[in-house]
C-alpha cells in the first residue's frame, strides 16, 4: 500500500514537472503560473505547494530533474580530452535547444529568489564544480598539470567564459569556443619544464 502511494506520488510529481516544462517552453518562464501547471497536470494548486514552496522551486526541479545525465567526467588519462568531452556535453545540454532557454530563465530567477539560488548551487553548480575539481586533482596527481595550480580557480576560469557567453553576450556556445577556453587554460595549467 505504501509503495503504491509512493508510486502515485512520484507519477504525480513527474506529471507536474512535465507540465511546468511544457508551459515554460510555450509561453516562457515569466508567464509560468502555478495555476496553469495545476490545470495542465490535473491537480490542485495545494498539491503543488505541498511539494514545492514557490513557482521558482518547481521550475528549478522541473529543469534539473533528469537533465544532468552525461555530465560526469570521463577519465581516459588525457585531462584535456576529458574536459573537452564533458564541457561539450554541458554546452550541448545547456547552451542550445529547448533546455538552453529554460536554463537561462532558471539562472535569472535565481538572481531574485535566494532559495532558488541556493537550490541551484546545491543541486547543479556545486556538484559540477566538485566533479571538475576531482578530475583536475587526478590529473595533477598524474603529473599532467602543475602541482601548485589552484584547482578551484581553474574551475572558475573554465566556467566563467561559458556563463559570460551564455548570459551576457548571448553569443552561441560552440564546441570551438569551449576548445579555445580549454586551450587557454591549459597554457597556464601545464607543468613547468625545468
**CATH code for the domain in which residue 27 is found:** 1.10.10.60
Residues of the domain holding 7: 2-63
103 and 154 in a single domain? The answer is yes
For residue 152, what pLDDT is reported? 93
Cα radius of gyration (the chain): 20
Q: What is the CATH number of the domain that holds 172?
A: 1.10.357.10
For residue 1, what pLDDT is reported? 62
Q: Which residues contact 93 (CB under 8 A, 6 or more apart)?
A: 67, 68, 70, 71, 99
For residue 193, what pLDDT is reported? 62
For residue 2, what pLDDT is reported? 65
Compute CA distances 157 → 96, 109, 133, whole Å: 21, 24, 12
57 and 100 in a single domain? The answer is no
For residue 8, what pLDDT is reported? 83
Nearest to 61 by CA among 131, 120, 128, 127: 120
For residue 23, what pLDDT is reported? 95
Q: What is the largest CA-CA distance in the chain?
A: 69
DSSP summary character for residue 157: H
Question: Across the 194 residues of the chain, what is the mean pLDDT of every consecutive 10-residue run?
Answer: 74 94 92 96 95 92 74 85 90 78 89 92 90 93 90 92 90 92 81 61
Measured distance CA(91)–CA(60) in Å, rounded: 18
For residue 76, what pLDDT is reported? 92
Nine cell digits for residue 147: 602541482
pTM of the model: 0.80
139 and 104 in a single domain? The answer is yes
Q: Which residues contact 56 (CB under 8 A, 6 or more apart)?
A: 109, 110, 112, 113, 115, 116
46 and 14 in a single domain? The answer is yes
For residue 121, what pLDDT is reported? 93
Residue 12 covered by a domain: yes
Domain count along the chain: 2
DSSP summary character for residue 30: G
28 and 90 in a single domain? The answer is no
182 and 95 in a single domain? The answer is yes
For residue 10, what pLDDT is reported? 85
Amino acid at each position: 500500500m505504501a509503495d503504491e502511494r509512493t508510486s502515485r506520488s512520484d507519477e504525480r510529481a513527474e506529471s507536474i514537472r512535465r507540465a511546468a516544462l511544457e508551459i515554460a517552453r510555450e509561453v516562457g518562464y515569466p508567464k509560468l503560473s502555478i495555476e496553469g501547471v495545476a490545470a495542465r497536470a490535473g491537480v490542485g494548486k495545494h498539491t503543488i505547494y505541498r511539494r514545492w514552496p514557490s513557482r521558482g522551486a518547481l521550475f528549478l526541479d522541473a529543469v534539473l530533474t533528469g537533465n544532468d545525465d552525461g555530465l560526469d567526467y570521463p577519465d581516459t588519462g588525457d585531462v584535456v580530452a576529458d574536459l573537452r568531452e564533458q564541457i561539450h556535453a554541458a554546452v550541448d545540454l545547456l547552451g542550445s535547444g529547448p533546455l538552453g532557454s529554460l536554463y537561462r530563465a532558471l539562472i535569472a530567477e535565481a538572481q531574485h529568489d535566494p532559495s532558488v539560488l541556493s537550490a541551484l548551487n546545491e543541486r547543479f553548480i556545486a556538484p559540477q564544480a566538485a566533479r571538475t575539481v576531482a578530475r583536475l586533482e587526478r590529473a595533477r596527481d598524474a603529473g599532467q598539470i602543475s602541482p601548485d595550480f589552484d584547482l578551484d580557480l581553474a574551475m572558475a576560469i573554465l566556467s566563467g567564459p561559458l556563463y559570460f557567453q551564455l548570459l551576457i553576450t548571448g553569443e552561441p556556445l560552440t564546441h570551438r569556443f569551449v576548445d579555445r577556453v580549454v586551450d587557454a587554460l591549459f597554457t597556464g595549467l601545464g607543468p613547468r619544464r625545468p
